[in-house]
Amino acid sequence: MIPNTAKAALSNNKSLFGCWIQLFNPAVAEMMGLCGYDILMIDMEHGLGSVVDAANVMRAARGTGAASLIRLPANDPVIIKTLMDQGADGIMVPMVETPEAAQAVVSACRYPPKGVRGLAVGIARGSDYGINERYVDTVDDHTLVICQIETVLGVKNAKAIAEIDGVDMLFIGRNDLAADSGHILDLDHPEVNALVDEVLAVAKAAGKKIGTVPSAGRSWQKLLDEGFDLVIPSSDISILRMFGQQEVASYRAHVGAEQAKGSIAKGY
């Protein structure tokens, strides 16, 4: 198998820097990978891509050095099985609130007797369409399994979730956590930060990796300094939006200045 660069880096206690992929355009994903992002988080929860789109994005990313992870729309073993077959380097499941839900995630990623993943190894892209004869024996070592903690109940059960064998990382969904705790859009509310800190401490105590997104008060630099292993600050959409807004603002400022000069020269 092509090594999972993200899982290897985490095993060596290196941090990861990621980009959300929500446009599902292979050329854009390839570009983000070539920019040097460690992981591309292909977002099937909030993006509009299908399984076919996700597979094509993974193909585009394969030669860039970036690992292809997929955030699922739900904790569904059928979707997990399909995307594992398509060769995802890892999966991230939203709204995991109990150890039972976390165990279901792990089981869906693993073949029997350790799990319930259906076996179609001879046609799966993940096994190089059956060419890789060691795929069944090695896939668990190459797969990064991430559970998102996004609710107060999830935080309450974070210790039990982290203790599930096969869960590699807890990823705090701070937007949903803020909303669920009664502080929608206020990611830096003291109560939200306290919940974030609680999950961070739990993950560290359990020897599991921890990830999240930045906020106004906790930049990605600060989060890395605090011990987070994965931060994903931007998406392909936000990068395009921010640069477009900046360039148009510069253009309008320049044109406005030139027009003002013209008005003064004409005595207006």
DSSP state of 111: -
pLDDT in tens, the chain (268 residues): 678 999 999 999 999 999 999 999 999 999 999 999 999 999 999 998 999 999 999 999 999 999 999 999 999 999 999 999 999 999 999 999 999 999 999 999 999 999 999 999 999 999 999 999 999 999 999 999 999 999 999 999 999 999 999 999 999 999 999 999 999 999 999 999 999 999 999 999 999 999 999 999 999 999 999 999 999 999 999 999 999 999 999 999 998 877 767 666 665 5
Task: List the catalytic residues.
Answer: 46
Q: How many CA atoms lie within 13 A of 42 on its CB side?
A: 32
Q: Which of 142, 136, 110 is nearest to 11 (CA)?
A: 142
CATH of 5-235, one of 3.20.20.60, 2.60.120.10, 3.40.50.280, 3.40.250.10: 3.20.20.60
Q: What is the pTM of this model?
A: 0.94
d(CA 189, CA 183) in angstroms, rounded, equals 7
Strand residue runs (E) in 44-112: 67-71, 90-93
